[in-house]
Amino acid sequence: MSKNVSTMKIKPLISIVNNNTVLIDATNNAGNTLQIQKYIWTLADKLKRNFECIDLVPAMNTLTLYFDALIIDDECINAISYICNNTTAGNFTSRKHIIETHYNGEDIDTVAKYHNMSVETLIKVHSNAIYHVLFLGFQPGFAYLHGLCPSIHTPRRSEPRLKVPKGAIAIGATQTGIYPADSPGGWHIIAHTTSSLFDITNDARPCLFEPGDTIQFKPIGLNDKEQL
């Protein structure tokens, strides 16, 4: 477990979406995306302890609160606003995951060629980074990651695949990610892993990753396309 601390002051916009939903939007704050996201994670933990919510859903620099029987009135909004304005991104805990990675993806040669680098250099750049889980979405267990080196940012494929296999590690524009299950996808596959990202039978923690966790990819072999 690791601790991350920031004293960045953030003032989000708070909106009532409907009778039982409140949106907290911090995208109006100029600054580092990761630092703002750390504020969102810390804020979610505080609000969870102070309000009885059906669910709290962090997304990119936003947080949505879903209530059941609570009447969202001025008193409620004022209480949420007070917590928002007295929260800084600090003292939350996270887990670090080491993902064993076979860099044998179908598109690894294409991506390396696009950046005028060797496959070995691409692997080194991708695996040396520490990635932060910003939030989960797209499909159960899929983590949107922050930390991909700009030198390997790669436009999405012009023709998406109808099926990207479970465990594929791919790059799409400024992001890299792991597909938890077979699905269509337009990102470039550079590697594969056997790590399971989503377990529907695990009621306590079905998703391997949680917002705030960190990930590092550990190369297993080099560009061996017969490993998987």
The DSSP code for 173 is B
Please give the pLDDT value at position 226: 44
| Tokens read off for 105 | 């993806």
Tell me if 227 is assigned to some domain: no
Tell me the C-alpha to C-alpha distance, in Å, between residue 60 and each of 9, 89, 109, 184: 17, 15, 31, 22
Q: What percent of the chain has pLDDT over 90?
A: 56
Q: How far apart are the first and last CA of the chain?
A: 31
205 and 154 co-located in one domain = yes
* Between 61 and 92, residue with greater pLDDT: 61
| Tokens read off for 61 | 């620099």
161 and 199 co-located in one domain = yes
Give the residue from 93, 124, 140 where a domain finishes. Answer: 93
Q: Domain holding 126: CATH number? A: 2.40.100.10
Domain that holds residue 47: 2-93
The yes-or-no verdict on residue 116 having pLDDT over 60 is: yes
Please give the pLDDT value at position 4: 45
Strand 188-192 to 2-5 pairing? unpaired
Tell me if 136 is assigned to some domain: yes
Summarised one tens digit per residue, pLDDT across range 164-201 is: 999 999 999 999 999 999 999 999 999 999 999 998 88
The DSSP code for 3 is E
Alpha helices in the chain (DSSP H): 33-50, 74-85, 108-114, 119-128
| Tokens read off for 167 | 């465990």
Q: Can you tell me the mean pLDDT for 55-67?
A: 89
125 and 189 co-located in one domain = yes
Q: How far is CA 12 from the centre of its chain?
A: 20
Please give the pLDDT value at position 69: 66
Q: Can you tell me the mean pLDDT for 98-102?
A: 97
Q: Domain holding 88: CATH number? A: 3.30.1360.40
Q: How many residues does the chain have?
A: 228
Instruction: Name the strand (E) or helix (H) holding 163.
Output: strand 161-164
110 and 192 co-located in one domain = yes
Strand 175-178 to 143-146 pairing? unpaired
Query: Cα–Cα distance between 95 and 10 in angstroms, integer?
Result: 25
Please give the pLDDT value at position 222: 58
Does the predicted TM-score (pTM) go above 0.85?
Answer: no
Summarised one tens digit per residue, pLDDT across range 39-59 is: 888 898 889 888 888 888 888
Most confident of 29-43, 64-78, 118-132: 118-132
Give the residue from 70, 93, 116 where a domain finishes. Answer: 93
89 and 182 co-located in one domain = no
Number of domains within the chain: 2
List residues bridging with 172 in a β-sheet. Answer: 175
